[in-house]
Amino acid sequence: MAGATAKPEERNTGDLAKRILSYAVLILLTLMFVAPLLWMLSTSLKPNTATTALPLSWIPKPFSNEGFSTILGSNSQSPALRWFLNSMVAGLANMALILVTASMAAYALARMEFRGKRVLFAAIISTLFIPPIILLMPNYQIVDQFGWLNTLLAVIVPGAAGAFGVFFLRQFFLSLPRELEEAAMLDGANRYQIFFRIILPLSRAPLATLAVLSFLTNWNDFLWPVFVLFTPGSLTLPPGLSILQGAYTTNYAVIMAGGVIASIPVLIVFILAQRYIIQGVARSGLKG
């Protein structure tokens, strides 16, 4: 469906005026969305005194690395690089865990028959309606029992239990033509071979989409990490930024520098994988 236009264009001056108006609105909107991000970048490069001084200026004069050096330095209170690494490790590990477990489970649900399949699928789907908050306290207790509190395991493993990945991939697997699998089975291939040699290679696009969405979700997760990670060295970026704000309340150069560090990877991922993300999001709203 990508790229389909809703209505054909008519060429006349009224239409031209409408187009100019549309562009104007779109550009104005773009400014409103992008300006705050540019301001964040600009502030991070100013000396702190300039961040609250009036009149405001968009270009840092002078440029200062005060903000970045404070949090990238060897100061043990706000080790932003450490947080960055933690987020990276957690994000990638969580993503991998989701891809492996969800793809296998989705394939079983899409293509295999077994006892209790309907009930299981209903159970999994129904959890999509569960407000996550009811799981907060019990999962905290469970994670504590495993000894995972204040470790990255607490932000890697529980997050892979969500139903979205299974649901998403199952939809896709259902849409694949059965003939391929049937042909392979006639050739004597077993399920494992079919899954790894036929299904997965065909699923690159949805797998990429799920990978990107999972990574982003984990990278940005806030409520859970804020409560299960304690010491400065164990935090991921979102709770780290919260701590940074608490410790440097009015030192906006430092706080914005933290924001920039947290934003750069996701913006890069976004630019490179834009298509996957947007398609993935769009697809989730449609039935098919």
The stretch among 64-72, 202-210, 231-239 that binds another protein (CB under 8 A) is 231-239
Q: Please give the radius of gyration of the chain, using alpha carbons only, rounded to the nearest integer.
A: 24
Alpha-carbon distances, residue 236 vs 130, 144, 186, 258 (angstroms):
26, 18, 49, 12
Residue type, 74: S
Q: Determine if 278 is a binding residue for another protein (CB under 8 A).
A: yes
Q: Determine if 133 is a binding residue for another protein (CB under 8 A).
A: yes
> Which residue number, 73 or 147, has a Cβ lying nearer to another protein?
147
The angle formed by the CA atoms of residues 163, 219 and 281, to the nearest 5 degrees, is 50
CB atoms within 10 A of CB 275: 13
CB of 207 to another protein, least distance (A): 15
| Interatomic CA distance for residues 199 and 237, integer angstroms | 36
> Which residue number, 56 or 65, has a Cβ lying nearer to another protein?
56
Q: Determine if 263 is a binding residue for another protein (CB under 8 A).
A: yes
| Interatomic CA distance for residues 56 and 200, integer angstroms | 53
- List the end-to-end C-alpha distance of the chain, in Å, as a whole number: 11
| Interatomic CA distance for residues 183 and 186, integer angstroms | 5
| Interatomic CA distance for residues 261 and 264, integer angstroms | 6
Dihedral of the alpha carbons of 166, 172, 176, 181, in degrees to the nearest 10:
-20
CB of 213 to another protein, least distance (A): 8
Q: Determine if 223 is a binding residue for another protein (CB under 8 A).
A: yes
3-state class (DSSP) for residue 286:
coil
CB of 63 to another protein, least distance (A): 19
CB of 45 to another protein, least distance (A): 14
> Which residue number, 160 or 211, has a Cβ lying nearer to another protein?
160
Number of residues in contact with another protein under rule CB under 8 A: 140
Residues 158-177 that bind another protein (CB under 8 A): 158-164, 166-167, 170, 174
Residues 38-57 that bind another protein (CB under 8 A): 39-40, 43, 51-54, 56
CB atoms within 10 A of CB 207: 20
The stretch among 61-69, 136-144, 196-204 that binds another protein (CB under 8 A) is 136-144
Residues 11-40 that bind another protein (CB under 8 A): 19, 22-23, 25-26, 29-30, 32-37, 39-40
Task: Convert residues 70-99 into a mask of x (bound to another protein by CB under 8 A) and - (unbound).
Answer: ------xx----------------x--x--
| Interatomic CA distance for residues 10 and 29, integer angstroms | 25
Q: Determine if 197 is a binding residue for another protein (CB under 8 A).
A: no
The tokens of 76 are what?
A: 């043990």
CB of 102 to another protein, least distance (A): 6
The tokens of 252 are what?
A: 């906006």
The stretch among 2-10, 62-70, 197-205 that binds another protein (CB under 8 A) is 2-10
Place of tokens 């997050």: 159
